[in-house]
Structure 1
Amino acid sequence: MDIDWAALGQVFGVSLVASVALVGVFTLGIVGSSTGRAEGSQTGGGTTVLARTGAYTCFALCAAAVAYGIYIITAP
């Protein structure tokens, strides 16, 4: 049995970068969704709307990445 260490290292590197990026984007979504609550603003100002829109975009990117991963796993 021979292990292709270069391919194993490449898979490890790509997995590490993808997981750190996905966690980072999700964290940005959490921060963006909690911005309006931290300021105590209930008026729905422009900054709060922009932060909430960015948060929803981050969550949509996370959902798309997970869906793509499931697609890759289940593709014939």
Structure 2
Amino acid sequence: MDVEWGILGGVFGVSLGITVVVVVMFSLGIAAWARASGETPGAGDLDGRAPDRGWAAAPTRGRGKGAAAVAVVCFAACLAVAAYGIDLIVPG
């Protein structure tokens, strides 16, 4: 039984790369979703006091809708990669 190390290394590299891309896309989706909901961490969050959210009350002029769209696209991309991986694993 011979192991083709080049192919094994290629599979490892591709799987590691896809894993990093999916984690980054999911993280960006969470950040965009938080921005769409208007929840931004303030300095008071760290020391137990109520944060001063006066600066976050300014009008965003549609930024929330754009951020929500970005979040949906990021989550859809993660879902597509997961569905493709399951399709590759499960016999047709």
Aligned-pair CA distance for 1:23: 0.5
How many residue pairs were aligned? 75
Aligned-pair CA distance for 1:75: 3.4
Give % identity: 41
State the Cα RMSD in Å.
1.8
Matched, 1:69 2:85: yes
**Partners of 2:85 and 2:17 in 1: how far apart?**
14
Q: Deviations over 1:7-53 (max 9, x none)?
A: 11000000011000010100110000011221755x77411110111
Q: Give the TM-score normalised by structure 1.
A: 0.86
* 1:1-76 mapped onto 2 (5 Å cutoff): 1-35=1-35, 36-38=38-40, 40=56, 45-76=61-92
**Partners of 2:25 and 2:13 in 1: how far apart?**
18
| Rg larger for | 2
**Partners of 2:39 and 2:72 in 1: how far apart?**
15
> Which runs of 4 or more aligned residues in structure 1 lie more than 6 Å from their structure 2 counterparts after TM superposition?
none
**Partners of 1:49 and 1:37 in 2: how far apart?**
14
Higher-helix-fraction structure: 1
Structure 2's unaligned 5+ residue stretches are 41-52
**Partners of 2:31 and 2:4 in 1: how far apart?**
41
